[in-house]
Amino acid sequence: MDKIPEVVQNQPLETLKGCKGYYACPQCPDGRLLGPLVGYAGQYDAPDGTKKHFVGRVYYNFAMAEQWPHLLTFFANGVRVAMRSRMSDDSYTSLFVGAPMGGIRLAGELGRVYGKRAIFAEKKVTAAATGNQREKSMLVWGRHSPEAGDHVVLVEDLVNNYSTTAELVALVEQAGAEVIAVACAINRSPEDHYHAPDGREIQVASYLHIPTEQFKQEDPAVAEYIAAGQICWKPKLEWVKLEAAMANAKAD
């Protein structure tokens, strides 16, 4: 039986570490990496004309926390405090919309905490994965959808490049609803607001705001490790490998 992870009051990062949801690539004193880099969802235009994923040394795996109801409640209450701080009136919210998949359970828990409606968007695959490309998909309404006039808070487990946010904003507004804020457990972007295409600044309410460095694959700081295959492109699916890297570094 799994040991029940503890809540570390007012310390979301320590709580995440306690449920084995945090990876930091171990390093030698001289800076040499002892474990794999990790791939991020965000993309950029590479010099060769293709789209490539950013990479980094740190990964926040909120999926490890959301499977424990008491931890999900802990993070939702922390997000609620952030919403009250960032928004002029959080009670103005009429609907929480979760981003698939990471925001679905957190949106549901925020709905419970606030006593408000909570739904989620769904992914529709538009192109299957190939040898060097992830599958392509678009967000759609499935089981539920917003109502015209809803004041919506978008919910994600983690935000950084806001690609999912942009797609969700468009989807919500097509339904005649209004996005009034973005809520998340972790914001690893330097920004504490989202710049919408129409020029609006939408507040981002996060329990943990921790700007985290990311790299283009051509960056000299990471290029040699990628060339050597020292990277996990899908960290959640290779989490055992990442945990082992940290454990081995401690043992040494």
What CA–CA distance (Å, rounded) separates 121 from 103?
A: 10
Distance of CA 142 to the CA centre of its chain: 22
pLDDT tens string 230-247: 999 999 999 999 999 999
Threshold 0.75, pTM exceeds? yes
What CA–CA distance (Å, rounded) separates 172 from 147?
A: 9
**All residues at 6 or more sequence positions from 30 whose CB lies less than 8 Å from its CB, including other chains:** none
**All residues at 6 or more sequence positions from 229 whose CB lies less than 8 Å from its CB, including other chains:** none
Whole-number average pLDDT of the chain: 92
Strand 122-127 and strand 136-140: pairing? antiparallel
Confirm if 37 and 230 have CB atoms less than 8 A apart.
Answer: yes
pLDDT of residue 138: 86
Q: In the predicted model, is pLDDT for residue 127 greater than 80?
A: no
131: helix, strand or coil: coil
What CA–CA distance (Å, rounded) separates 244 from 242?
A: 5
